[in-house]
Structure 1
Amino acid sequence: AYHPAKAWGIALSYATTSRGGCHLGAYTIAFEILNSPEYVSPEDAASKPSLVKRMQDAFAIYDSAIICKYHSLALFLSLNFELDDLAKAISAATGLHYTDEELHRIGAMIIDVERLFNISAGLTPEHDTLPRKFKVNLAPLLKEYYKLRGWVNGVPRREAIQLRKPKPAKLGELAITPLRRFTPPQVQVALDMDASIEVICDIAVKAYSGGARLIEAGTPALKRHGADNLVPALINSIRRYCESKGEPYEAIVVADAKTMDVGNLEARIMFRSGADAIVVLAIGGDEKIFEALSEAIRRDRAIIIDFIQVEDPLARLEDLARKLKGYEPWVMFCLHRGISEHIRSRGIHDSKTLIAEARKIAGNFLLSVAGGIKEGTAKEVASCGAEVCVVGSAIYNSTNPRETTQRILQEIREHYPLRS
């Protein structure tokens, strides 16, 4: 179906697929031609052994579950060829707890067993080739492919095939979204910094050590460093701190992408980098919001809808609260007065009536408030019932970010009204 001399991935897949030269052993055309889930050049040979192996393992699970592989075009979110959706479905059907990692391990074993069957039927590694007329030399790729599979000269080790029964799934076990992992009120530190990753991570760790649990990769920092660099660095820095203190990791990393279009694509990029939540703008149409929300639900993540520059934030909030009813676990609203606005005037804490009314309209949705909040003014926001106070320069420009975070957190806890 596809010429193997023009794409290294499909060539290697043809040569190694258990049932012969079938393009569905690993449909590498998805990423080599169709840009799904992301583009990899057909001429890039070096990456293909690992990609072909990973996709073959995933497709072995699709075959075993008797599921059409074309679903993978929608379900694979990255080149890791995730099986999270299938893991949830199989867990629900069997009562056993399956994960993406466990299913990929089982998929690899299935390939091993198929390989041993073929060898017992008379096939050998010498058959891992293509007709000479294609003039494709797969030897270097096969060497790496065998190594990744743990095969010795193309033959699996029988002792590597170890069956183990997954643990029973807990009755009523449900995924917990990031917005249900913290107890209000909380501080979200907005790292809107034009600084190195090392400096940004240092501030993040200090704010986290002071009690902040929502760590925001601010828009300027995301634009300077990129999500794939900044978000993992923040996560790893905080994890190292937690490990050094013997404490559980409780950070919720927010990617302030300020998404205005293609909500599904931008959410996928941010979630793939490790972010727990993405910021989507309320201004404009609804489509981007629902696109980002669909990605959040699939990956047990969350979206924060930012009302910056919305002409009538209360009317827009009422509209979205009505449309999004039932999605409270995945959505938080953010009443926001931007930096450019609040440096010319007072911060949003001066709009207590607006905040209180927004809190009332939000209902069961969480509400965060951002814009010039600092010590002495955070209490004004908290007293209106906002669950999250977003604090930026008051923390990262302070001489002691840890102690500043502690004081602001204490301030909002003392003034936050208890809600039934």
Structure 2
Amino acid sequence: MAKLQVAIDLLTTEEALALATKVAPYIDIIELGTPLIKSEGLAVITAMKNAFPDKIVFADFKTADAGELEADMAFKAGADLITILGATGDATIIGAVKAAKTHGKGVVVDTIGVTDRVKRAQEVIALGVEFVELHAGLDEQAQPGYSIQVLIDEASRAGVPVSIAGGVKLSNIAAVKASGVKVAVAGAAIYGAADPAAAAKELREALDAA
């Protein structure tokens, strides 16, 4: 069954914990966004894991270098998963995977900025990562003509464990699941909603029913 991940792109630990408290009953993975971690540091990871020990805590580091070191930092702080950029070299990913094995945790490769996401996904899975995030970042989503359908099509073709992040919402989550994803990542559809708990509940029910 596909997991539901909430991407928390807020800037304070207090706001992040408050949001997570509202949506926790409906989600499997709590992602601490890159701006949040840059704003609050490793302490936000520890705070989130302490508050929600039964949830998978995902540290969106988007590491581009020193993979083993940064992954070790994240895992020691309480993260279960860390992102490494797919656009970086294999050595960085291999280093992070080494740290993950030491801690019994996992590495996710984020394809933001990668031209051929499917090819890179297939390459990095062989390096021992948990799954690959087919990711259209906020800047890509803001471009004229952007559609999440490109990610859905890529997921269908990848043939390896992937997640989709880049505009997942109620109207497309069934198509996202049908593409074979391991994880559906919703950000603004939850944290930007007037009622985040209701939005998360609707997404959960739609994902499970699809």
Coarse TM-score class (shorter-chain normalised): over 0.9
Q: Which amino acid aligns with 1:357?
A: R
Report matched runs for 1:57-206 at 5 Å: 184-194=1-11, 196-206=12-22
Relative distance call for 1:382 and 1:191 in structure 2 (3 A) is same
Who is 1:256 aligned against?
A: 60
Whether contact under 8 Å (1:215, 1:254) holds in the other structure is yes
Alignment partner of 1:217 is 2:32: yes
Q: Which amino acid aligns with 2:136?
A: R
Alignment partner of 1:305 is 2:109: yes
Q: Which amino acid aligns with 1:332?
A: F
Report matched runs for 1:348-367 at 5 Å: 348-358=148-158, 360=159, 362=160, 366-367=161-162
Whether contact under 8 Å (2:134, 2:151) holds in the other structure is no
Alignment partner of 1:315 is 2:114: no
Once residues 347 and 271 of structure 1 are traced to their aligned partners in structure 2, the CA distance between those partners, rounded to angstroms, is 34
Which of 123, 139, 143 is 1:340 aligned to?
Answer: 139
Report runs of 4+ in structure 1 exceeding 4 Å deviation: none
Whether contact under 8 Å (2:6, 2:187) holds in the other structure is yes
The Cα of 1:310 is off from its aligned counterpart by 0.5
Once residues 347 and 412 of structure 1 are traced to their aligned partners in structure 2, the CA distance between those partners, rounded to angstroms, is 19
Higher-Rg member (1/2):
1
Whether contact under 8 Å (1:349, 1:378) holds in the other structure is no
Once residues 192 and 349 of structure 1 are traced to their aligned partners in structure 2, the CA distance between those partners, rounded to angstroms, is 23
The Cα of 1:411 is off from its aligned counterpart by 1.2
Aligned residues: 209
Which of 38, 51, 73 is 1:237 aligned to?
Answer: 51
Task: Identify which of structures 1 and 2 has the higher relative contact order when contacts are C-alpha pairs closer than 8 Å and 6+ apart.
Answer: 2
Alignment partner of 1:407 is 2:199: no
SS in 2 for 1:308: coil
Once residues 152 and 117 of structure 2 are traced to their aligned partners in structure 1, the CA distance between those partners, rounded to angstroms, is 14
The Cα of 1:406 is off from its aligned counterpart by 1.2
Give TM-score scaled by structure 2 length: 0.94
Q: Give the alignment's Cα RMSD to 1 decimal.
A: 1.5
The Cα of 1:283 is off from its aligned counterpart by 0.6
Once residues 199 and 47 of structure 2 are traced to their aligned partners in structure 1, the CA distance between those partners, rounded to angstroms, is 23
Who is 1:390 aligned against?
A: 185
Who is 1:207 aligned against?
A: 23
SS in 2 for 1:413: helix
The Cα of 1:320 is off from its aligned counterpart by 2.2
SS in 2 for 1:369: strand
Q: Unaligned stretches of 5+ in structure 2? A: none
Once residues 221 and 338 of structure 1 are traced to their aligned partners in structure 2, the CA distance between those partners, rounded to angstroms, is 16
Q: Unaligned stretches of 5+ in structure 1? A: 1-183, 239-248, 416-420
Once residues 24 and 118 of structure 2 are traced to their aligned partners in structure 1, the CA distance between those partners, rounded to angstroms, is 32
Q: Which amino acid aligns with 1:371?
A: G
1:149-172 deviation digits (Å, cap 9, x = unpaired): xxxxxxxxxxxxxxxxxxxxxxxx
Relative distance call for 1:291 and 1:341 in structure 2 (3 A) is same
SS in 2 for 1:279: strand
Who is 1:81 aligned against?
A: none
Once residues 115 and 174 of structure 2 are traced to their aligned partners in structure 1, the CA distance between those partners, rounded to angstroms, is 26
Whether contact under 8 Å (2:109, 2:124) holds in the other structure is no
SS in 2 for 1:373: coil
The Cα of 1:215 is off from its aligned counterpart by 0.3
Who is 2:71 aligned against?
A: 267
Once residues 349 and 375 of structure 1 are traced to their aligned partners in structure 2, the CA distance between those partners, rounded to angstroms, is 14
Whether contact under 8 Å (1:337, 1:347) holds in the other structure is no
Whether contact under 8 Å (1:278, 1:303) holds in the other structure is yes
More strand as a share of residues: 2
SS in 2 for 1:206: helix
SS in 2 for 1:304: strand
- Give the percent of matched residue pairs that are identical in Structure 1 and Structure 2: 31
The Cα of 1:237 is off from its aligned counterpart by 2.7
SS in 2 for 1:310: coil
1:173-217 deviation digits (Å, cap 9, x = unpaired): xxxxxxxxxxx31111001123x21111110121212x1010011
Whether contact under 8 Å (1:336, 1:348) holds in the other structure is no
